[in-house]
Structure formats: structure tokens, C-alpha cells
Amino acid sequence: MEREDPLERLERQEREKQERKSAGAPKVIMFVLIAVAAALAVALAAVWMSKSKLIGELNEEKEDLTEQIVALQEDYATLSSDYEAINMQLDSSREEIAQLVDRIKNTEATNRAKMRQYEKELGTLRSIMRNYIVQIDSLNDLNHQLTVAAASARREAAESKARNKELTAQVEDLSGQVAAGSVVKARGIRLEAYGSNDRIVDRSTRVARLLVTLSLIENELAPKGPMRVYVRVTDPDGNLLQDGTNASFAFGDGQLPATASREVDYEGSEVEMSIYVNNIPSYVKGVYTVEVYSQNTRLGSAELLLR
């Protein structure tokens, strides 16, 4: 057997080594490509799952927003008013909500810019609705107050008319009995409240008695001699105060009860006088009125406000 040359053997071994390397390279490349493909598949799957989750969340947000808008639409449908101007505004807002419902139904959930815009419009419409409710409540309260005030005004007008009619009849009867030139008149009529310390007070809880002061005007034509002056004091509810003396006097065709009275000597000259009102159990807050009379003559009136 022929012996192989050592140099050739080395060259042969080197060639075989190179051939083995050449044969193994495609396998490595193939394995690398397979690994890259697998990684890409995993990445694509993750992206797809993330996108599907995001789309699901956006669809849920759209459904929730749609439900809120529809609920607000139902609230607007139940809102009503007795005022034409507000009803016209309500109709306009209802139309806006109807259009918003249509727009959100026709918009993809993935259009986040539009969804944010619809959320803002929903907030604005809610704020507008709250303003409508406040306006309607305020107008209803005002209407109720005006109705009560109008009824009170009509009642007071009727009562005043009745009182005026009665007083007119009394004055006409009186004027037919007494000559105008001989009637004693008064001026400076005042009604004041005094406490137990004899000081003027204005609080109802501190009043101990009332004092009526006035001056009988000079009149040389008036009858001379004793003259009795009567006062009628009424509380804020129109009730006559009575000090227990049961005083009364002729006026017109009948007798009028008096709160108190006092007799003075009138000789045609001016006379200053005062009349105390005592023995009243208690006083309340409001306006008290005093009317001053002589026999068949009303001399005047005054008022006092107690707090």
C-alpha cells in the first residue's frame, strides 16, 4: 500500500474541514430564520391581542357614553314649563340631544377625538339642563308669591273700600249735624310707647303703656265748656285695645267703643292734652293705629311701629 504524503494529508484534512463548514452554514441560517419568524409571530400575536383589548375597551366606553346621552334625552323629555320662552329653549336642547345620539351611533369607537368631543357636549347639555331646572323653580316660586300677593291686595282693596264707604257715610252724617265753622279740630297727634321706667321704647316686650298727645286748635266759634276726647287704639291685627273702662261715644247713628278718654275744659283757645292707655296685658310686634274723636267728630289719627 502506497503511503500518503504528509503534506497532501494535511491539505485533504483542511479541504474536508472547509466542506463540513460549508455544509453546516445553511442549517445555522435556517435555524436563525426560524427563530426570527417565531419571534415575529409572537410579537404579532401580542399586538393583535392588545389591539383587540383596546378596541373592546373603546366599544365599552362608547356604549357607556351612549347610555348617558340617552338617559339625558329621557330627562329632557320629562322636563316641562309653563313659560313659552323656556319651552322654546327646551325644544332646541332636545333637538341637539337627538342629533348627538345619531352622531355617536354612526361614529366608530376607535375615533377617540370624536368621543372626547361628544363627552364635552354631554357635559354642556347637562349644565344647561341644571340651569333650566333652577329657572323653572325660581319662576314657579315667583309666580306663587305674586299670586298670593295679588289675592292679598284684592282682599285689602275690598276691605279698604268697605271702610272708606263706611267712613264716608259717617262723615256725611256728621257734616249734616255739625256746622263746619263750629267743629273743634286737632293737630300734632302722636302715639308713643313707654316702658316701666317712664322712657320711650320701641320694642313690644318692653311696653308698659301707651301715650296719645295732641293739641285742640283754637276756634272761637266752637262751643265752650267741658269737652271729652276719645281715642281708639287698634293692634296690628285690627283689634281694638280696651283698658277696662268700657268707654264709648256717640258717632253717627250709633255708639263706638273707645280704648280710653279724657275730659278737658275748652274755652276756644288752643289746648294741649295727653291720654294714657293702661291695663293692656301685652303687646305684639307691628303697627298700632290711634284714631282720636270728640263727640261725633273724628279729629285725626297716628301710627306707631313696635319691633
Share of the chain above pLDDT 90, in %: 29
On whether residue 42 sits in a domain, the answer given is no
Rounded Cα distance, 193 and 201, in Å: 6
Same domain membership, residue 192 and residue 151: no
Q: What is the CATH number of the domain that holds 254?
A: 2.60.40.10
Rounded Cα distance, 257 and 242, in Å: 9
Give the range of the structural domain holding residue 279, as residue numbers without chain letter. 183-306
pLDDT at 166 exceeding the cut of 60? yes
Same domain membership, residue 195 and residue 144: no
Residue 278 and residue 244 in contact, taking contact as beta carbons nearer than 8 Å:
no
Domain count, the chain: 2
State the average pLDDT over residues 11-34: 67
Which of 142-146, 180-184, 234-238 has maximum average pLDDT?
Answer: 234-238
pLDDT score of 220: 84
pLDDT score of 42: 65
Contacts of residue 97, defined as CB under 8 A and 6 or more positions apart, other chains included, come to 69, 72, 73, 76, 125
On whether residue 86 sits in a domain, the answer given is yes
Final residue in a domain of this structure, among 177, 195, 230: 177
What confidence tens digit (pLDDT) does each residue in 65-92 have?
A: 788 878 877 877 777 777 777 778 777 7
